[in-house]
A and B are shown apart, each in its own frame.
Chain A
Amino acid sequence: MTCDELRRRLDDYLDGALQAEERTDIEAHLADCAACRAELDELEGLVRRLGDLPEAIEPPRDLWPDISSRLAPPVVVAGRFGSSARRWMAVAASVAAALAALLVAYSTGLQHGSEEAVTAREATPLAVPAGLEDTGFAEAEAEFSAARDRLLATLAERRDSMSPETLRVVDDNLRVIDEAIERISSALVDDPLNPRLANQLASAYRRQIELLQRASRLPAET
């Protein structure tokens, strides 16, 4: 084996990729050739240095904020609240967004709506599923409750101008929606990751606001 032949195989020799016979030939040559031994030593030194390079290089800046902002909400599966707080927060955020949209609609409606009112009614405190206190949900729901109270107050002032039949229909519908909100909120406590329930809750809030707005604008009947 010549020096050139050996050097062409040196990488494979170093990487243990040669058959036993070839290895024997190379080792025989190396035993007699100082130049090729030096070549091997140099190559070994390089490969060792490459292997010794730091395994990790810290990024020059914290990339986590950019990464986390790109993480789509995970596929939501049924489960208990607790270890999956983050997933529930995504659900709560969607409900909060729905409520926020409702509040905008409500504010617009107030500007164009009548000042008359309908019924006197105790505002029922809404059930906030446990664990939502730290999310946008609780804040949005507080605003929603305040908006609902204002509409109920307007309705109360109009009560005398409405027929008993209209009042009964409005009250029955409000009660049905309140019961639905309570039922859905309760179900969400047990199954906080259920997006269908979250949508139902937002939908119930929407129906209630729309009902109160419609009732507030009904023409006087008496």
Chain B
Amino acid sequence: MTGAVHLSDAVERARSGDVEAFETLYRATAGRVYALCLRMCRDPHLAEELVQECYVRAWQKLGTFRGDSLFTTWMHRLATNVVLGHFRRAGRRIDDLADAGERVAAEPAAERSSELALDLERAIASLPAGARTVLVLHDVEGYTHEEIARMSGVAPGTSKAQLSRARRLLRKVLTP
């Protein structure tokens, strides 16, 4: 049985209220959802709360999943919207190009680790919120500027500007 078929079966059962099946879906996708939440909000505790919110929301909305995309894709999109919704409620605007200016948090600029990925994660975490959000959605998660614009309610040009800024800041942080 392939993973997709396995999840497809679990989706069907979860849609009819089978909590065990929904747990299967959680186990299969939680890592990706947590990674998204953590990278976008950079606070592990908040990321945990957002992950919980994502799955509670998914449970409520499973009936709207039509199956014309992979469950993982649907879940990821839902998680992105949950995080962006949290940002909106918290008054964090991803179109604020002036947020934190060209500054990055001091912590990640610390000594370079031999683990480059960890360095990179820290560097991402150091970015201003708007730049970090767009960078994660575009360069890590693979969304287009148009998709980011639709989800976050900003112009595609704003998304592009935030991405350029994020990459520029990242290179600055990562340069020895």
Chain B 112-126 against A: per-residue CB contact (8 Å), 1 yes, 0 no? 000011001100100
* CB 8 Å contact bits of B12-34 with A (1 = contact, 0 = none): 01001111101100110011101
Answer whether residue B1 sits at the interface, using C-beta atoms and an 8 A cutoff.
Answer: no
Report yes or no: A59 in contact with B17, Cβ–Cβ below 8 A. Answer: no
Which residue of B has the minimal Cβ distance to A79? B16
Task: Kindly list chain B residues whose C-beta atoms are within 8 Å of the C-beta of A79.
Answer: 16
**B44 within 8 Å of A (CB atoms):** yes
Does B163 contact A11, Cβ atoms closer than 8 Å? yes
Q: Are B30 and A59 neighbours in the complex by a CB distance under 8 Å?
A: yes
Can you give 30 A-B contacts (C-beta < 8 A)? Answer: A11-B163, A11-B164, A43-B171, A46-B170, A47-B167, A49-B116, A49-B120, A50-B120, A50-B139, A50-B140, A51-B140, A53-B120, A54-B35, A56-B34, A57-B38, A58-B34, A59-B31, A60-B44, A60-B48, A63-B48, A64-B23, A64-B26, A64-B27, A64-B30, A67-B26, A68-B23, A71-B59, A72-B60, A84-B18, A87-B17
Distance in angstroms between the alpha carbons of A75 and B44 in the assembled complex: 33
Contacts of A50 in B (CB 8 A): 120, 124, 135, 139-140
Q: Which residues of A contact B42 (CB under 8 A)?
A: none
Q: Are B18 and A86 in contact (CB under 8 A)?
A: yes
Q: Which A residue's beta carbon lies closest to that of B26?
A: A64
Tell whether B52 is near chain A: CB-to-CB under 8 Å.
yes
Interface size in chain A (residues, C-beta < 8 A): 39
Contacts of A83 in B (CB 8 A): 13, 16, 18
Residues of B154-175 whose CB lies within 8 A of A: 160, 163-164, 167, 170-171, 174
Does A70 count as interface, using CB distance less than 8 angstroms? Answer: yes
Main secondary structure of the interface of B (DSSP, over half): helix
8 further interface pairs, Cβ-Cβ under 8 Å (given A63-B34, A68-B19, A74-B16): A46-B170, A50-B120, A53-B117, A58-B30, A60-B44, A67-B51, A70-B52, A87-B18
**A56 partner, pick from B19, B22, B32, B163, beta carbons under 8 A:** B32
Q: How far is the CB of B160 from chain A (nearest CB, A)?
A: 7
* A42 interface residue (CB < 8 Å to B): yes
Is A25 an interface residue, CB under 8 A from the partner?
no
Q: Which residues of B contact A66 (CB under 8 A)?
A: 52
A12 lies within 8 A of chain B by Cβ: yes
Asked whether any CB of chain A lies closer than 8 Å to the CB of B56, the reply is yes
Contact of B19 among A12, A60, A75, A86 (CB under 8 A): A86
Nearest CB in chain B to that of A193: its residue? B17
Q: A76 within 8 Å of B by Cβ?
A: yes
Residues of A within 8 A of B163 (CB): 11
Q: Is B55 an interface residue (CB 8 A)?
A: yes
Q: Are B160 and A11 in contact (CB under 8 A)?
A: yes
Q: Please state if A12 and B52 are interface contacts (CB–CB under 8 Å).
A: no
Beta-carbon contacts of A76-117 to B below 8 Å, as 1s and 0s?
Answer: 110100011111000000000000000000000000000000
Q: How far is the CB of A73 from chain B (nearest CB, A)?
A: 8
Q: Contacting A74 at CB < 8 Å: which of B17, B56, B160?
A: B17
Considering only CB atoms, which chain A residue lies closest to B18 in the complex?
Answer: A86
- Complex Cα–Cα for A12 and B160 (A): 8
User: Which residues of chain A come closer than 8 Å to B47, judged between CB atoms?
Assistant: 59
Report the separation of the CA atoms of residues A51 and B32 in the bound assembly, to the nearest whole angstrom. Answer: 14
Going nearest first, the 4 A-B pairs with the smallest beta carbon separation are: A56-B31, A74-B17, A57-B35, A50-B139
A114 to chain B, nearest CB (A): 46
